[in-house]
Amino acid sequence: MASGGWGTYLGAPEQPVGPDNMSDRWRQFMKRLHPEGIPWPGSVLYNALSRSEIFRRHYELVAHDVAQYGTAQRLLDIGTGPGHLLLALRRTVPDAELVGVDISPAMVAQAKGNVKIKAGDSRIEVLPANANALPFADGTFDCAISTGSLHHWNDPIHALSEAYRVLKAGSLCLTYDLVRHMPKALCEEVRARFGGFRLAILWLHSFEEPFLNADEMEALARPTAFTVEGTRFAGALCCLVLRKAGDPAAGPDK
Ligand X SMILES: C[S@@+](CC[C@H](N)C(=O)[O-])C[C@H]1O[C@@H](n2cnc3c(N)ncnc32)[C@H](O)[C@@H]1O
Choose one: 22-30, 77-85, 114-122, 242-250; the region binding ligand X (CB under 6 A).
Answer: 77-85
Q: How far apart are CA 85 and CA 121, in angstroms?
A: 14
Among 131, 179, 186, 202, the residue binding ligand X under the rule CB under 6 A is 131
Nearer to ligand X, 51 or 184 (CB): 51
Nearest residue (beta carbon) to ligand X: 81
Helices 184-194 and 53-67, interaxial angle, to 10°?
Answer: 120
214 Cα distance to chain centroid = 13
Nearer to ligand X, 151 or 181 (CB): 151
Among 13, 18, 79, 210, the residue binding ligand X under the rule CB under 6 A is 79
Choose one: 25-33, 126-134, 167-175, 217-225; the region binding ligand X (CB under 6 A).
Answer: 126-134
Q: What part of residues 171-230 is at the interface with ligand X (CB under 6 A)?
A: none
Q: What part of residues 19-58 is at the interface with ligand X (CB under 6 A)?
A: 36-38, 50
Among 153, 164, 226, 233, the residue binding ligand X under the rule CB under 6 A is 153
DSSP string for 59-86:
HHHHHHHHHTT---SEEEEET-TTSHHH
Rounded to whole angstroms, what are the CA distances from 53 to 56, 182, 193? Answer: 5, 20, 10
Q: Phi and psi for 231 in degrees, rounded to 5?
A: -130, 150
Choose one: 6-14, 68-76, 117-125, 145-153; the region binding ligand X (CB under 6 A).
Answer: 145-153
Q: How far apart are CA 215 and CA 231, in angstroms?
A: 8
Choose one: 1-9, 74-82, 197-205, 214-222; the region binding ligand X (CB under 6 A).
Answer: 74-82
88 Cα distance to chain centroid = 14
Among 13, 81, 139, 183, the residue binding ligand X under the rule CB under 6 A is 81
Among 27, 61, 74, 80, the residue binding ligand X under the rule CB under 6 A is 80
Among 66, 89, 98, 107, the residue binding ligand X under the rule CB under 6 A is 107
Among 27, 90, 152, 181, the residue binding ligand X under the rule CB under 6 A is 152
DSSP string for 105-173:
HHHHHHHHHHHHHHT--TTEEEEE--TTS-SS-TT-EEEEEEES-GGG-SSHHHHHHHHHHHEEEEEEE
Closest among 99, 158, 140, 157 to 253, alpha carbons compared: 140
Query: Residues interacting with ligand X, by CB under 6 A?
Result: 36-38, 50, 78-81, 84-85, 101-104, 107, 130-132, 147-149, 152-153, 159
